[in-house]
Amino acid sequence: MRAGSESWPPRTREEGTGEGASEREDLITFGVRWPWIVFAFALLLGVLTVFWHQQSTGPISGEMERHRATLEHRTPTPWRYRLLTTWINEGILRGTEALRVPRHEAVSLLGVRIAQNTAILWAAYTLYSLLGLGRRASLVALLLVAWVFSHSNYFSGLAHNTYTDILAYLIGAILVIRGRLGWLIPLTLVATLNRETCGFIPLLGLWRPLAQRRVGWAENRQAYMTAFFGVMVWAATYAFIRMVLVPSNPDLESYERAWKPAAPVGWRLLLYHATHINTLYHVTEAVSVLPLLAVLFFRKAPAILQAWCVMLVPVWFIGMSAVAFVAEARLLAVPVVLVLIPMAMCGIEGQPAAPPRLAQEVESPRAAG
C-alpha cells in the first residue's frame, strides 16, 4: 500500500479484500456514512465524559485561577512548564470574550475539553481499526475509553494538558502504523510544549526490533534515527522551556527547595500507593480489569501492541507511581488507552487481522506458531 493512500475509516478484516475477507459487519447505519456515525458517537461520548468530569471539578472560577497561575508562571514545577494547552485556552478565552459569548470562560474551557475528548475518541477509533479490530469491537473500545475518562476525575481540575498528551500519543501510534516515522519528531516538539511526559512518543517506532528481536542497524535504521533525534528534540525543547520561555521565580523556587526533601517521592511514594486504599480504589475504579485482560490475551494481540506493552506499560505505571499521586487515575490514561484497551479487545474479539502495513513485517507469535 502506498504511503498516504489510506482511506478513512481504515480497512478492517470485515472490509478487507482478497483471500480470507469476510462480509462487512451487519450494522444498521440508516444510510449515514460511517465516518459521520463514528464522529457523532465520539462527540456524544465527549460531551458526556466532560459533563461528568466537570461535576467533580467545582466552579469554573477555580479552573480560571489555575489557568491564570500557569499563564503567569506562578504554579510549581512541573505545571508551570506545561504551556501549549494554556496558550490555546488563552487564545480561545480572548476570542470568546471579544465575541461577547455569554459565560465565555465556561464555554471556552469546557469547549476545549469536549473537543479534546472527541478528538481522542476519533483518533482511538482510527488506531484500533488500524490494529485490526472490527467496527463493533472498536466502538466497544471507545466505550471503555469513555469509562476510563469518566472514572479518572478524583482530585482533578479539567487537566487540559493531560488529555492533549493522550491525543499526541494516539497520533504518534497512528503515524507509526502508517509508516510515517519522520513525523514523530515534529510531533514530539509540539507535544513537549504541552507536557514533559511525551518523551516516549519518538520511541514508539522501536516496536519492530523489540518484536523481532533483531536489532541490526540496516533493517531498523529509520526507527533508530527517529528515536535518537526525537529524544534529542524532546530534551532540547524541555530545556528551552525551563531556561528561556519560563522566567525564574526566586520565591517559588525557594519554596520548592524547602519542600522537596519532605516530599514522598520514589520508593516512599510507591510504598504509599501499595498500602493506601484510596489509591487502590481510584485506580481500580478507572482501569478495572483491563490490565488483567491485557496479560491474559497478550499472545493474541498484534506484535506491535505486544512491543508497546513491554516498552511502555511497566515503565509508565511504576514511574508515574514513584513521582505522582496516581489516585488521580487520569495520569495512567496514556498506556490504558494506547495499549491495554486494544489488547483486551483483541482477546475478546479473537485474533484480529494484522494491519495492512504490518502484515508483511511482523506476524503475531500466535499466527506464526
User: How would you classify residue 30: left for phi > 0, otherwise alpha for psi between -120 and 50, otherwise beta?
Assistant: left
pLDDT at 209: 84
Cell of 298: 497478550
Q: Is the pLDDT of residue 5 over 70?
A: no
Q: What distance in Å separates the CA atoms of residue 223 and residue 56, rounded to the nearest whole number?
A: 42
Q: What is the dihedral of CA 253, 257, 259, 262, to 10 degrees?
A: 160
Q: What is the mean pLDDT of residues 17-22?
A: 38
**Rounded CA separation 269/323 (Å):** 7
Q: Is 29 exposed, middle or buried, given 0-12, 13-18 or 19+ CB atoms closer than 10 A? A: exposed
Span 107-161, pLDDT tens digits: 999 999 999 999 999 999 999 999 989 888 999 999 999 999 998 888 778 889 9
- Centroid of chain to Cα 314: 16
Identify which of 331, 338, 346, 288 has the alpha carbon closest to the alpha carbon of residue 120. Answer: 338
- With beta carbons less than 8 A apart as the criterion, state whether 320 and 331 touch: yes
State pTM to two decimals.
0.86
Q: Tell me the three cell numbers of residue 191.
A: 507535544
pLDDT digits (tens, 9 = 90+) for 23-70: 345 565 555 688 888 999 999 999 999 988 887 777 788 889 889 988
| Nearest in space to 154 (alpha carbons), one of 328, 332, 333 | 328
SS3 string, the chain, reads: CCCCCCCCCCCCCCCCCCCCCCCCCCCCCCCCCHHHHHHHHHHHHHHHHHHHHHHCCCCHHHHHHHHHHHHCCCCCCCHHHCCHHHHHHHHHHHHHHHCCCCCHHHHHHHHHHHHHHHHHHHHHHHHHHHCCCCHHHHHHHHHHHHHHHHCCCCCCCCCHHHHHHHHHHHHHHHHHHCCCHHHHHHHHHHHHHHCHHHHHHHHHHHHHHHHHCCCCHHHHHHHHHHHHHHHHHHHHHHHHHHHHHCCCCHHHHHHHHHHHHHCCCCHHHHHHHHHCHHHHHHHHHHHCCHHHHHHHCHHHCCHHHHHHHHHHHHHHHHHHHHHCCCCCHHHHHHHHHHHHHHHHHHHHHCCCCCCHHHHCCCCCHHHHC
Could you report the per-residue pLDDT of 147-187, keeping only the tens digit for each?
999 988 887 788 899 999 999 999 999 999 999 999 999 99
Cell numbers for 41: 458517537
**Cα distance between residue 326 and residue 329, in whole Å:** 5
Average pLDDT, the chain: 83
Give the model's pLDDT for residue 258: 59
Q: Evaluate whether 127 touches 170 at the Cβ level (below 8 Å).
A: yes
